[in-house]
Amino acid sequence: MLHGWDNFFNLAGAAGATLIGLLFVAITLGAAGLSAAREKYGASAFLTPTLVHLGGVLLECLAALAPWPSAWPLGIILASCGLIGLVYQVRVILMQRRIDFASPDWLDWTLFSAAPALGYAVLIAGAAGLIADEAFAPYAVAGAVGLLLFAGVYGAWDLTLWIARNRDKA
């Protein structure tokens, strides 16, 4: 299953949880100067997806560290996380394209949209590999967790910068 991967999942889970806490602090301190409409659009399009990605990392790491009797429960949990995350990410992409809130460049669109979608797709493949007892499965799951963590870090950083730039425009 995921023997020997404990340190990776401990570190990734701790990073995800810490970043969620820091994001709440940044939003609480920084959003005071924003208008209600700008806050609503920012939360729906960029903040909530970032929290979902980081929360997903935390959930996936907790599931990976649990002492399961076989790979099936973990595979089902991770496949469910991947499928729900992929459907959610498609919804987010459609919402971000529909609103006129910010002007992200190609790098932003790649890291806000493509990276999480790829991470969730790889998580589904890794979960299927766990169930089928394939050798690639731990690497796929770890890669998906790493990609979602990176997308969450980028989203949190970009959102924090956006708040700092737009506080005086309320």
Q: For residue range 72-111, list pLDDT tens digits in order.
A: 999 999 999 999 999 999 998 888 777 655 566 778 778 8
**Residue 122 pLDDT:** 98
- Is position 64 within any domain? yes
Number of domains in the chain: 1
**Residue 97 pLDDT:** 73
* Domain ranges, residue 19: 6-169
**Do residues 124 and 60 make contact, with C-beta atoms less than 8 angstroms apart?**
no
- Is position 1 within any domain? no
- Is position 34 within any domain? yes
- Is position 101 within any domain? yes
Q: Is the pTM of this model over 0.85?
A: yes
